[in-house]
Amino acid sequence: MVRTESLEHGIAEARQAAEEGEIPVVMSGDGLVGQVGGVLAETDATMGIIPGGRGNDLARVLGIPLEPTGAVAALANGNTKQIDVGEVNGRRFLCVASCGFDSDANRIANEAHLVKGNLVYAYAAFRALVAWRPARFTIVLDEGEPIEFEGYSVAAGNSRAFGGGMFIAPHAELDDGKLDVVTVSEVGKLRYLKGLPKAFKGTHLENDEVTERRAATVEIRADRDFAVYADGEHLTDLPATLRVLPAALRVIAPPGPLVGPPS
């Protein structure tokens, strides 16, 4: 067991363990899990996960129990899955890369040390909404024609969930070589706030302002600066180019389909 001192330290330890033929098991949240997974991608290494963060969204979607005893039992069972890895401006991620309103909410959540558990995401969304003003986004999917809209956010999902169980991309598959691109166009703040709980069930896609598309490559620009967050970490800034590394990572996870939104 190694107690990590920083994100960089955890990545270095996992890389060394994999080079020595061991299986790195990350007990942390999506941030360290995502960065270790990115380092191990396109190698022969296998990664294990014991959820230990606030969101634990990759474990949630993979069906890994969120409590340690169940997670360790899944490790002992040894079933593996080959999953895609996302990349944004050369930085790798496993779950969802997003920008716009999500940039502000992620920053607030990361700074909110006194708010515990999943409540931090609701708190961050409310705080971000108070100061929010619409932005103009341009996205290009698979080198097609530019799509412009004014609104809240762009999220590119390699996986289905972020923010502690918000199924922002409920149809995303971890092994299809595609990103599910979800955009939210301009609506009133009250309507947007009322729509947030729907994301926990994946029913936000029923709203007219929400659009879902699918692509292997995505380019995103906006009329003002935004950070791009993925797996809860600030990875880069706009403009951003995203792509998929198909079947690039082997993870230990229970057999069966991915977990989707609660019915």
Q: What is the pLDDT of residues 162-210, one digit of tens each?
A: 988 999 999 999 999 999 999 999 999 999 999 999 999 999 999 999 9
Its pTM stands at: 0.92
pLDDT at 189: 94
Could you give the residue range(s) of every CATH 3.40.50.10330 domain in the chain? 7-88+247-252
Sign of CA dihedral 146, 149, 154, 156: negative
- Rounded mean pLDDT of 240-259? 97
- Rounded mean pLDDT of 56-83? 97
pLDDT at 111: 85
SS3 204: helix
Q: How many CB atoms lie within 10 A of CB 13?
A: 17
Residue with tokens 């995401």: 121
Report the percent of the chain where pLDDT is more than 90: 86
- Rounded mean pLDDT of 250-259? 96
pLDDT at 29: 93
Average pLDDT of the chain, as a whole number: 94
What CATH class does 91-245 carry?
mainly beta
pLDDT tier, 116 (very low <50, low <70, confident <90, very high otherwise)? low
Q: Are 233 and 57 in contact (CB under 8 A)?
A: no
Cα(first)–Cα(last) distance of the chain, in Å? 38
pLDDT at 113: 66
148 is catalytic: no
pLDDT at 118: 60
Could you give the residue range(s) of every CATH 2.60.200.40 domain in the chain? 91-245
Q: Which of 87, 173, 219, 233 is catalytic?
A: 233
| Buried b or exposed e, range 51-76, using 16+ CB within 10 angstroms | bbbbbbbbbbbbebbeeeeebeebbe
State the fold for domain 7-88+247-252: Rossmann fold (3.40.50)
Report the percent of the chain where pLDDT is more than 70: 98
